[in-house]
C-alpha cells in the first residue's frame, strides 16, 4: 500500500468561489431529498447527502466505488445548478462521485478513516464549504482544519477524521472526488505537496480493520461493492 505522510494530509487550494452563487445553487437543490449516510456507525443523522454525480446518475446512489469511473453520471440535481457545474469544471480532471454533504447544528460525524482515499492513491477529495460557521470542527489526524465558505480544501481521509457542528447553522459542503493527473500534480506542487514522501509500504490490516472494511462494504450492498468485497476478501485470504 501507499505511505501517507502527515506533511501531505491537507492543503487549501488556490481557488475562491462566489459564496452567493454557491448558496443560490444550494437553494435549487432543497427540493430534492437528502439521504441518510449508508454507514450509520459513522453518522446516523437525517438529510445528510444529496448526490450530484453518482453511479448511473441516480439520486438514490451515494456509495463511492473506486475503479468504476465510466459509470458515474451527473444527476438531475446537478443539471439544474449552473454555478456548481462551473465550480466542478475548474478541476481539470476526471471526477467520480460528487455530492452535497449536510451536517445540522449539533451533528457529529464520528472518527473514522476512508481507505485508499488520498492523493498517493491516485485520488483526491475536495471540500468546498457552501454554508458553514466558526463552530464547525473538522479534525484530521488530530488537527483542526478551519474551512471557510467558498474555499477549496484537499484532505487525505486515510487519516482519522471527524466533524462536529457545534454552531447554530447547517454545515453544507460541496464534495468532489477527483482522479489524479498531470494538471493536479502541478496544482498540488504549487501548494506545497511533497512528492518525495510518496512511497510504497507493506500494509497488514489488523483483524478488526478487516472486519470493519467488510462491514462497510456489506452495508452498501450494490453490484459494485459486492465485486469489490469479493476482491478484498481474496486479498486478505478470507474464504467463504
Instruction: With respect to residue 220, please indicate whether it lies within any of the assigned structural domains.
Output: yes
Residue 22 lies in a domain: yes
Pair 193, 209 in one domain: no
Say if residue 161 is in the same domain as residue 209: no
Q: Give this prediction's pTM.
A: 0.83
Q: Which among 5, 14, 54 is positioned nearest to 184, based on CA atoms?
A: 14
Q: What is the 3-state secondary structure (H, E, C) of 92-111?
A: CCCEEEEEEEEECCCCEEEE
In this structure, are 179 and 212 located in the same domain? no
Q: Are residues 171 and 236 in the same domain?
A: no
> Of the given ranges (78-82, 95-99, 107-111, 127-131), which has the lowest mean pLDDT?
107-111
Shared-domain flag, residues 165 and 103: yes
Domain co-membership, 215 together with 189: no
Could you give the number of structural domains in the chain? 2
The answer on 220 and 125 residing in a single domain is no
Please report, to the nearest 10 degrees, the dihedral formed by the alpha carbons of residues 103, 123, 211, 70 taken in order: 90
Same domain, 69 and 47: yes
Same domain, 76 and 182: yes
Q: What pLDDT, on the 0 to 100 scale, is given for residue 100? A: 98
Residue ranges making up the domain that contains 211: 204-240
Q: Greater confidence, 159 or 18?
A: 18
**Reduced to 3 states, what is the DSSP secondary structure of residue 211?**
helix
Amino acid at each position: 500500500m501507499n505511505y501517507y505522510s502527515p506533511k501531505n494530509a491537507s492543503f487549501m487550494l488556490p481557488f475562491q468561489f462566489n459564496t452567493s452563487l454557491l448558496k443560490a445553487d444550494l437553494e435549487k437543490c432543497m427540493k430534492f431529498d437528502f439521504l441518510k449516510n449508508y454507514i450509520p456507525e459513522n453518522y446516523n443523522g437525517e438529510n445528510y447527502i444529496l448526490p450530484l454525480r453518482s453511479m448511473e446518475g441516480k439520486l438514490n446512489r451515494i456509495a463511492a466505488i473506486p475503479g468504476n469511473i465510466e459509470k458515474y453520471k451527473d444527476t438531475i440535481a446537478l443539471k439544474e445548478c449552473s454555478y456548481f457545474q462551473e465550480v466542478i469544471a475548474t478541476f481539470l480532471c476526471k471526477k467520480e462521485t460528487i455530492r452535497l454533504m449536510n451536517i445540522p447544528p449539533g451533528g457529529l460525524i464520528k472518527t473514522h478513516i476512508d481507505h485508499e482515499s488520498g492523493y498517493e492513491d491516485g485520488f483526491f477529495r475536495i471540500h468546498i464549504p457552501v454554508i458553514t460557521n466558526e463552530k464547525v470542527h473538522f479534525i484530521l489526524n488530530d488537527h483542526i482544519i478551519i474551512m471557510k465558505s467558498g474555499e477549496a480544501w484537499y484532505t487525505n481521509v486515510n487519516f482519522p477524521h471527524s466533524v462536529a457542528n457545534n454552531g447554530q447553522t447547517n454545515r453544507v459542503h460541496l464534495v468532489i472526488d477527483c482522479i489524479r493527473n498531470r494538471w493536479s500534480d502541478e496544482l498540488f506542487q504549487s501548494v506545497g505537496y511533497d512528492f518525495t514522501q510518496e512511497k510504497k509500504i507493506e500494509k497488514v490490516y489488523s483483524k478488526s480493520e478487516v472486519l470493519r472494511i467488510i462491514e462497510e462494504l456489506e452495508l452498501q450492498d450494490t453490484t459494485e461493492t459486492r465485486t469489490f468485497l469479493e476482491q478484498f476478501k481474496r486479498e486478505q485470504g478470507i474464504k467463504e
